Structure formats: C-alpha cells, structure tokens
Structure 1
Amino acid sequence: MLTSFMESFLCCLTSKSANIVVPVETSEPADGHEFVEVKPGRVLRVRHIIPDRSVVEEYTGQGGSISCKRKITVYRNGQLFIENLDDRASTELKNHPNGETQSNSNVEVDLTDCDNSSPPAPAAGQTNQSQQPRRRRRKPKRTVVIDCERKISSCKGTHTDVALFFIHGVGGSLDIWGSQLDFFSRLGYEVIAPDLAGHGASSAPQIAAAYTFYALAEDMRLIFKRYARKRNILIGHSYGVSFCTFLAHEYPEQIHKMVMINGGGPTALEPSLCSIFNLPTCVLYCLSPLLAWSFLKAGFAKQGTKEKQLLKQNNAFNVSSFVLRAMMSGQYWPEGDEIYHAELTVPILLVHGMHDKFVPVEEDQRMAEILLLAFLKLLEDGSHMVMMECPKAVNTLLHEFFLWEPAIPPLPKKESKTRPETAKAQSDNNKASSEPDKVRPATARQTSSNDGAE
C-alpha cells in the first residue's frame, strides 16, 4: 500500500494524466470468451458458454399461470397506492419456491405516507364530515392498470430455450460470477456474462458520456438481443440490477424470471452532489488504495486473506479512477421510480447479505413490497459481494428459483370431493329402481280387477 501511495503522490506532483484507460489485462484462457462490438470502437468482452447436452429436452409442460391484475394510483403529494385486484395471485405468492412462507412476498395496499392516507375512524354515533371534503379534493396524478395473464414454468438446464444473463455492478467484472457460471454451465444451462464498458477486458472510452446509465443500458440491450432465447433469466448485482429492470420493461415477453442481488430500493437514480467521486480524477487516483480498502471492509463480512485474494482474482474494484468517477456521476435514471418497478410482472427473487454496508436491508424489503411477484431471501453470512462469499448458498437459491413454478390446483380436483355423494345418490337410485318391482303384483291385481269390471 505504501508503494501505491508513493505512485499516487508522484502522479499528483508531475500532473500526469490519469484519464488514459485501457482494458484490464487478463491471464484467463480465451475459451468461452467473445469480444462483441456493440458500436464502432465500443467492444465488450462476453463469456458465453453453451454446454454439451447429452439429452436435449424441449419444454412441453404448460406450467402455471398467474393473473397479474393491479391498480397503481399516484397522488400529487407523492403518495402511492397499490391494489391487487386478483386474490388468486396474492395467495399463490405466499408460497416460496422452496416451500417456505414469506411474510414480505407481496403487498396488496402500499402507502408511502400512512398518516395521510387512512384517517382515524370516527366514534360510534359521530360523523366525520370534516374529512370527507379532503378525500374529494385529492385527485390522482396518474393511474396505471395492469391486467395480464403470465405463464410461469420450470427452467431446467436441458431446456434449449433457456438462457441465463449475469450483469455485474460498478467496479466489478464478469469474473465475480465465476462460481455461478461454472455451477450452472455444468448443470446444462447456457450462460452469458458481459463486462460493462471500462470494466474487465472491455474497451474503455475516454469520454464521460460513454458511462451514463442510458449508454450502458443500450449496451446491455444489444447484448441481450444477440444472445436471447425464448425464455431468459436475468441475474443482476448492485448497479447491474437497474439494467435487468430496464430489460424486463423492454422485453416483458422474453424475460421469464429475474434475480436481484443487493440491488437496493425501487428509487430513481440520481448522482449525489456531495460525493467523494466528484473529486478530480487525479485526486481519486491518489485515494485509490484507500477506496480499495474501504470497499473490502464494506463489501465483505470478513476482511481476511481469502477475501483479498477473491478481489484480486476476480478483478473486483479494479477499474481506473476516470471510469469510476464517470460511472458514479452518470447514474441518472429518473424513470426508475416506484411506479416503474411496480409495473413489473416477472417473478423476481431478491437476495440480500445481512452484513451489507452499501445497501440496507430495509431497501430490499421495500422492493419486495412494491413488486408483484417477489420473494426475499436473507443470508446471514453474506455482505455486498454475497455471490463470492457464499457461492453454494447463492447457487442453491438461484437453482430452486429457476425450477419453481406456481402450483395452482386445477379445477377438476374440486369435483372429486363430491364423488362419494354422487356414489350414494347412485346407490339410492338403484334401490329406488328396485322397489317398483315389489309393487308390481298389486298393480297387476288392479289391472285384472279393472279387466273384470269391464
């Protein structure tokens, strides 16, 4: 660290430009890596693995379907009212993919300001007339109604129409998904993991406009169009969750499921004015050892030799000061507010590390309340880089979620309950049909007497 401080100090004294950024050199083999030119001069490194499937299985099942019916009302004071119009969807969401019950899986009515939304009930024999005009004056600013039927099925590695997309966040690279890429490729899944611009081995333009949210989202959209299958699953971490949300809005029919790992709350992105990343690039370069140390302390639950080795091997937080500054100042996405997230109808799994100092657990809980089809899982031994700290636990959660499908009971099962009664009715009818045989002689006598009378 002393050598790094000396180099940074010499850089400041000699006024050496730190804006010259080049792709990070990697010693990994080129197998499975592709370089895609999304725009002229803008090249991204992508790891694309198509496993050798011994048995190619096409998905033939119907899966389960959930009615996504909800009404979202936004008032001028910022109050948000969400109403689920279908009870069947809310009852199905209470069952976690692994069978456990989640209390924060869904919400039927959600208000940002509970004090102003529900006035106290008046006492018996009293009328609350003073508050009725206030309700009439409140006019909604915007109303969104979602009414669709979504089919959700199990995704296995042998299904050739399934693809997994892994998107990292600020300062990371596709190498942070090493454990997940190896695990799911061995199970037969087709996996795609790109390096964001300026990260990993992707090209690093020297203009700040190349690292805005919209520029990076356009890169991810082109990568998705290139590798997308019929059913696609998006897995995002931190800042990468925003790009997954963007793709889920752009391609709602192709996105089958989505995973958010320490992504934060459903708030619009806006760069902070009072941030250390607003300092000049040369100053950030001088502070890079301190930033790396703070990232290690806040991003991992334990700060040992193993965690330092993980950062070094996976190129985590190994970006230039110029790219880091441009990425943080370019996080401007006003459309990604609560309404934008509430409109999502794709099933979403939220994974949160309890020791995360970047994203509080309350933000992921808020995200679980806003989303319609959401399941929240907390890992006690993980932090912000939970996929590197607890790879086995994360892989198990993801795999269970991929194989999950809603178990909606079919309608014919309800008729099976009345079958015993129907059998009894049939036996009664048989007895009733046999009773007329006993009265036939009387009927015959009556007919004979009638004949004699004639």
Structure 2
Amino acid sequence: MLTSFIEGLLCCLASKSANVVVPVESSEAADGYEFVEVKPGRVLRVRHILPDRPVVEEPTQGGIVSCKRKITVYRSGQLFIENLGERASAELKTCQNGDTEPNSTVEVELTDGRNSSPPVSIPEARSESVAAGNNTATPETGASGEAPAAGQHEPSQPPRKRRRKPKRTLVIDCERRIASCKGTHSDVALFFIHGVGGSLDIWGSQLDFFSRLGYEVIAPDLAGHGASSAPHIAAAYTFYALAEDMRLIFKRYAKKRNILIGHSYGVSFCTFLAHEFPDQIHKMVMINGGGPTALEPSLCSIFNLPTCVLHCLSPLLAWSFLKAGFARQGSKEKQLLRENNAFNVSSFVLRAMMSGQYWPEGDEVYHAELTVPVLLVHGMHDKFVPVEEDQRMAEILLMAFLKVLEDGSHMVMLECPEAVNSLLHEFFLWEPITLPPPKKEPKTRPETAKAQTENTRSSSESAKVRPSSAKQT
C-alpha cells in the first residue's frame, strides 16, 4: 500500500501514468497468439486457435423461425412490443375465450405517464377491462340508463384516457434458419469478448474446451488490456473506438456462421456486431451483461478521480473487485485473478474505460430489434449486475433463454467453468423443432342421388307400421 501511494505521488508530480500496458515479448503466433494492427500504432493481441480437423461436409438442416415484431415507442417513454406471426408464443395467440387467432393485439391507450415509470409490456389478448370501454352507456346516464335525480350528486367518473400518437414505429419481418453448430462444421467460428479490466485469459477454460471439440475460437484483448497496446489518450477507449476494433477483428476472422460470447461490458460489443452483421451472426451468449439500457458514464463515480488518486487506491479497487466479482473470497479466487490476468490494467486505462462508456443508441429498442437467438447466463451472487436486469433483457429480446447459476457471481466463467461450458455447448447444438405441415382433412364426398333415394326409401319403410291382416282380426 505504501509503495502504491509513493508511485501515485510520483505519477502526480510527473503528470503521467505509472503503468503502461505493452505487448509482451513471450507471446508468439506459433503459440496461438497473433498481433493484429487494427490501426496505425494500435495493436491488439488475439488468440486464434484453428484445430486440426478433417473437412467433413455435413448437411445443416435446422429450422426456420419467422421473426415478426412491431415495436411502437411513445413520447412518454413507453415501449409496446407486438409479437406477430405463426410462431408467436401461445399466450399471444390464444384469446381469453379459448379461440385462437393468428395475430393478437391490444389497443393501447396511454395516460399521463409523468408520475409513473415507463413499463415495457408484451401484448396479450384483449381483456374485459379494455373491452368495457365500448359500452353504450353515456356519461349522463347511470348503469341502468336512468338519469340521476336532481338532489343526487353525479358519481365521480374516472379520468378519460387520452390517446397519444407514437413517436416512432418499427416493423421487423424476416425469417432465420437456425441450425446446430458442431465442431466439425468448417463454417462455424466462436468469438469471445471480455469486459472492463479483463483479458482474453479469463476465457482459458472455454477456449481449451471448445478447441478440443474442434471449434475455431477467436478471443481478442481490448485496447489497454492484456497484452494489447495501450495508447495514452482517453479517446482511444471510448465505446465507439473499441467497437470499431471489434468490427475489424470480426471481419478478419469471421466465417459464414459466427457465435458471439460476451461478458459484462463485452456484451455491448456483441450487440453492436449483431446489428452490423445480422446475416453472419448465428447465435449470441450474454454473460452477466445487464439490462437493455443505453450506456452513459456516471457523474458521481470513483473513476472520475484523477489517475494518480486511482493508482493510490488500486489495492482497494482490486479488493473490491474480488469481493463483488466472486461468490467466495479465498486463496483459490485470488489465484484465479492472478493466473487469468483479470483486473490488471493501469489506472489511466481504467479511468478512460469507465468514462468512455457512452452509447446512447443501445437502448431497449436497439435490443428489441435483435432477431438472433440469445443465451443469458447469470451468476446468482453477482453484485455488479442484479438478476432483475437480465430478466428485463430476456423480456425485451425476441428469442432469449435465461440460465441462472446459483454458485457463480460476476466472474462465473472462472468460478463454474464446467457448468458454463455445458450450457454454451448445449446452446450451440440447439436448433428449433421444425413442425410438419398440418395435414389436410379429407373432404367427405357428397352422396349421389341414387344413394340418397335408397336411404330415404329405407328410412320411410322402417317408419311405417304394417296393418293387421283380416285373419288376425
């Protein structure tokens, strides 16, 4: 602690950062590491594992999912999502009386939402309270239709709802073919993107596991992290600068079908790539990514302090990260941090990363436009991201599967590597069930005139009663 304080004091006097991350000398391309210069003077370390596998052309059938959504945004901030099409959920296609309709919608009438938080609603069948607004009774008459007496006060009527015009309306109508992705498929690539303070080493268990299964894996180090270069300028660590780096890395290694796996801040870059390359992104995994909100740096944050002060507080920040990032704080967790090079960045990079998280486009509508299947993995003991945020994300996304691990926290891929690997592999092999086309019921052939005459004659004869004979009389 004293050494850190002295280094921070020297940092203030010299007006420069004490730590500068530079590419390490030991990493070579032969070890599976590559150094990619995305811009002049901006070099990123990338671990690229291309397994030795026989080229096997396997048919990829999969299933076709119809993605039809209508997203309406009102000026009050309310978001209204309508899931349309034949593959909408059963709740959206089934009315309350049991009848089924291809598209069930709700007529939305917004009240003044200044005193209430803007909710996000998924349309359901029309309820009785909504239909009750179509009654023929006028405000001048009571429930029985009679006017109130002169001495009686008219009962207070509820405030009339005011219809508001939507701010904008988006319609998504497309079809996606979703097939299983096996390690033997040569057109599949896995991209792993870490978050703030991490490095590609936090994916060590996942990279080894899936490379042994035959997958091609790509994991880059963000600028200033791991063994990538660390420019000493704050503009190099904004969201758009880092997203442009990931876009160039993706274009360099992308295959026909790509799966994005992001952790924490890296989830935002995965969402950005899914919008930039919708036809090449096959599936996506979000690990403790948080809710679908636009990014904006906090004004009252410890990371707004000067760099030298943050350097003095670096031991405290590391201890806080260990406390909040792991469910248990023991020697094993501390060793995991050291071995995986996590939270080992300079104070300048850390401050610039936290201050550069400005992404106003990444709001709820931006996430609702995604049509790619998404697996949400959340550690129950995560103190950085509450589980309610991932639940909110699961409601917004079109095809989302939320899995909560009870023994994990924010660094769940380090705490529960076997469970995370199993979840990811199961999701990679998942494909929707292709329902067979409905069988047409055979039409009954109408009876001929001759058959109808015979049936009528037989029925009339059976109805008649034979008269008694004269002998019987």
What TM-score range do you get, normalising by the shorter chain?
0.7 to 0.9
Is the CA contact 1:66–1:89 (under 8 Å) kept in the aligned structure 2? no
User: d(CA) in 1 for partners of 2:139 and 2:406?
Assistant: 48
Is the CA contact 1:165–1:232 (under 8 Å) kept in the aligned structure 2? yes
Is the CA contact 2:237–2:349 (under 8 Å) kept in the aligned structure 1? yes
The answer as to 2:368 corresponding to 1:363 is no
Taking a change above 3 Å as real, the CA distance of residues 57 and 127 of structure 1, as seen in their structure-2 partners, is farther
Which residue is 1:8 aligned to? 4
Equivalent residue letter for 1:47: R
- Aligned-residue CA RMSD in angstroms? 3.1
Return the structure number with greater relative CO, CA threshold 8 A, min gap 6.
1
Q: Any idea what SS the aligned residue of 1:333 has?
A: coil
Is the CA contact 2:181–2:188 (under 8 Å) kept in the aligned structure 1? yes
Equivalent residue letter for 1:283: V
The answer as to 2:252 corresponding to 1:191 is no
The answer as to 2:70 corresponding to 1:71 is yes
Equivalent residue letter for 2:21: V
Q: Any idea what SS the aligned residue of 1:381 has?
A: coil
Is the CA contact 1:24–1:199 (under 8 Å) kept in the aligned structure 2? no
Is the CA contact 2:66–2:87 (under 8 Å) kept in the aligned structure 1? yes
The percent of aligned pairs where both chains have the same amino acid is 79
Q: 1:25: Cα distance to partner?
A: 4.3
Q: Any idea what SS the aligned residue of 1:88 has?
A: coil
TM superposition score normalised by structure 2: 0.79
Is the CA contact 2:62–2:431 (under 8 Å) kept in the aligned structure 1? yes
Deviations 1:350-385 (A, max 9, x none): 000000000000000000000001110000000000
Is the CA contact 1:75–1:140 (under 8 Å) kept in the aligned structure 2? yes
The answer as to 2:247 corresponding to 1:221 is yes
User: d(CA) in 2 for partners of 1:115 and 1:260?
Assistant: 21
Is the CA contact 1:277–1:329 (under 8 Å) kept in the aligned structure 2? yes
Alignment map for 1:159-178 (pairs within 5 Å): 159-178=185-204
Taking a change above 3 Å as real, the CA distance of residues 128 and 52 of structure 1, as seen in their structure-2 partners, is farther
Q: 1:127: Cα distance to partner?
A: 5.8
Residue 330 of structure 2 is aligned with which of 299, 304, 327? 304
The answer as to 2:378 corresponding to 1:352 is yes
Which residue is 1:86 aligned to? 85
Taking a change above 3 Å as real, the CA distance of residues 197 and 139 of structure 1, as seen in their structure-2 partners, is same
Deviations 1:253-288 (A, max 9, x none): 000000000000000000000000000000000000
Which residue is 1:113 aligned to? 118
Q: 1:408: Cα distance to partner?
A: 2.3
Taking a change above 3 Å as real, the CA distance of residues 119 and 75 of structure 1, as seen in their structure-2 partners, is farther
Deviations 1:215-259 (A, max 9, x none): 000000000000000000000000000000000000000000000
Question: Tell me, which stretches of 5 or more residues in structure 1 are unaligned?
Answer: 94-106, 426-431, 433-454
Which residue is 1:43 aligned to? 43
User: d(CA) in 1 for partners of 2:309 and 2:395?
Assistant: 41
Q: Matched residue pairs, number?
A: 405
TM superposition score normalised by structure 1: 0.82
User: d(CA) in 2 for partners of 1:384 and 1:335?
Assistant: 25
User: d(CA) in 1 for partners of 2:62 and 2:400?
Assistant: 18
User: d(CA) in 1 for partners of 2:139 and 2:9?
Assistant: 72
Equivalent residue letter for 1:72: I
Q: 1:19: Cα distance to partner?
A: 5.5
Deviations 1:65-103 (A, max 9, x none): 11100100000010000000124143599xxxxxxxxxx
Q: 1:119: Cα distance to partner?
A: 11
Q: 1:63: Cα distance to partner?
A: 1.0
User: d(CA) in 2 for partners of 1:73 and 1:141?
Assistant: 8
Q: 1:6: Cα distance to partner?
A: 1.1
Higher helix share: 1
Taking a change above 3 Å as real, the CA distance of residues 49 and 411 of structure 1, as seen in their structure-2 partners, is same
User: d(CA) in 1 for partners of 2:334 and 2:174?
Assistant: 47
